[in-house]
């Protein structure tokens, strides 16, 4: 029997130019696809790990550190003149002294410890356990104080597509959601708090020399006039009118995140303390 001729192996260099291009393009798309797939699995795993970590922290929030470590209770304060820390936050505070409180909004994923560092950069990419984490943490502006309490406590968090951190804050773009979810719960280490939403608006980060109301710099009003001016500016920017206002001397909070859906760079929700 005649032997079958072996198929000749064609080298890449011998292929026609059009076929070479198609192969190169195919390899590029395969590499990009594998890279995207790898990033997707990394993102899903990181999001899952983050969720598990914060569920664990939420469980710790309900524990009373005084039951196990009574000798440390009187020392776990930020300031000698500050009140005792609420017992439900003792365990968390003992794990990370950067903790300043907890924020929660019903029917959202927002149910997190609130942190503070000496700069506004650290908790952009670190979690409660001080590990590198692209989700970051919810944190208050370094210029704010929980004791003595600033008139306005400004909180920041990433607008994650997963809805984590302040990703669900965008639900307040719908007036119907705001009216059915008027309250934000924010506890400091020393006091529990319930806040009613007043203003919801988009805004930009302005140049330092630009003359404009900069919500991210409004922390303590030096006078009634300054307070009224800030309230009027935020009211004018608000997407809708909820009929809620705050008087000079009342406590307010400002929740701020990035805005990827409009021309504005930031999405902001402002609420005043009612309890």
Q: Is residue 91 part of a domain?
A: no
Spatial separation of the C-alpha atoms in residues 122 and 156, rounded to whole Å = 12
Q: Which domain holds residue 246?
A: 97-273
Q: Are 171 and 200 in contact (CB under 8 A)?
A: no
CB atoms within 10 A of CB 99: 22
Q: What is the pLDDT of residue 138?
A: 98
Q: What is the pLDDT of residue 67?
A: 47
Spatial separation of the C-alpha atoms in residues 74 and 69, rounded to whole Å = 11
Q: What is the pLDDT of residue 76?
A: 41
Q: What is the pLDDT of residues 30-64, one digit of tens each?
A: 766 665 555 445 444 555 556 666 776 767 676 55
Q: Is residue 83 part of a domain?
A: no
Q: What is the pLDDT of residue 18?
A: 66
Ranges in the chain, pLDDT < 70: 1-15, 17-20, 23, 25, 27, 29, 31-53, 56, 58, 60, 62-79
Spatial separation of the C-alpha atoms in residues 216 and 204, rounded to whole Å = 10
The conformation of residue 5, written as its DSSP 8-state character, comes to P
Q: Are 178 and 247 in contact (CB under 8 A)?
A: no
Spatial separation of the C-alpha atoms in residues 111 and 104, rounded to whole Å = 4
| Cβ-based burial of 239 (10 A; exposed 0-12, middle 13-18, buried ≥19) | middle
Q: What is the pLDDT of residue 259?
A: 94
Q: Is residue 19 part of a domain?
A: no
Q: Is residue 251 part of a domain?
A: yes
Instruction: Tell me what percent of the chain is helix, strand and coil, each rounded to the nearest 5.
Output: 35, 20, 45
Strands 152-156 and 99-104: unpaired
Q: Is residue 73 part of a domain?
A: no
Chain CA centroid to CA 17, Å: 52
CATH code for position 242:
2.40.260.10
Spatial separation of the C-alpha atoms in residues 120 and 240, rounded to whole Å = 30
Q: What is the pLDDT of residue 184?
A: 98
How many distinct structural domains can be found in the chain?
1
Strand (E) positions, the chain? 99-104, 111-115, 138-140, 152-156, 183-188, 194-203, 252-258, 266-273
| CA-to-CA dists, residue 73 to 64, 98, 101, 249, angstroms | 10, 17, 17, 31
Q: Are 87 and 65 in contact (CB under 8 A)?
A: yes
Spatial separation of the C-alpha atoms in residues 92 and 64, rounded to whole Å = 10
Q: Is residue 162 part of a domain?
A: yes
- Dihedral sign, Cα of residue 154, residue 158, residue 160, residue 165: negative
């Amino acid at each position: 029997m005649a032997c079958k001729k072996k198929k000749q192996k064609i080298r890449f260099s011998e292929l026609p130019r059009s076929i070479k291009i198609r192969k190169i393009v195919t390899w590029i798309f395969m590499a990009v696809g594998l890279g995207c797939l790898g990033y997707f699995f990394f993102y899903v795993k990181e999001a899952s790990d983050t969720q598990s970590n914060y569920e664990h922290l939420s469980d710790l929030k309900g524990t009373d550190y005084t039951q196990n470590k009574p000798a440390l209770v009187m020392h776990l304060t930020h300031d000698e003149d500050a009140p005792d820390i609420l017992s439900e936050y003792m365990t968390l505070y003992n794990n990370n002294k950067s903790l300043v409180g907890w924020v929660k909004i019903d029917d959202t994923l927002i149910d997190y410890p609130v942190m503070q560092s000496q700069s506004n950069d650290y908790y952009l990419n670190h979690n409660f356990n001080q590990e590198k984490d692209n989700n970051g943490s919810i944190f208050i502006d370094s210029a704010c104080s929980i004791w003595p309490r600033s008139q306005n406590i400004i909180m920041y968090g990433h607008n994650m597509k997963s809805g984590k951190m302040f990703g669900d804050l965008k639900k307040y773009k719908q007036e119907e959601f705001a009216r059915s979810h008027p309250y934000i719960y924010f506890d400091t280490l020393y006091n529990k708090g319930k806040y009613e939403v007043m203003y919801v608006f988009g805004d930009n980060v302005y140049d330092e020399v630009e003359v404009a109301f900069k919500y991210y710099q409004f922390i303590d009003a030096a006078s009634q006039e300054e307070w009224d001016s800030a309230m009027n500016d935020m009211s004018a920017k608000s997407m809708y009118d909820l009929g809620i206002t705050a008087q000079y001397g009342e406590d307010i909070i400002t929740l701020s995140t990035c805005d990827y859906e409009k021309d504005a760079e930031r999405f902001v929700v402002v609420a005043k303390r009612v309890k």
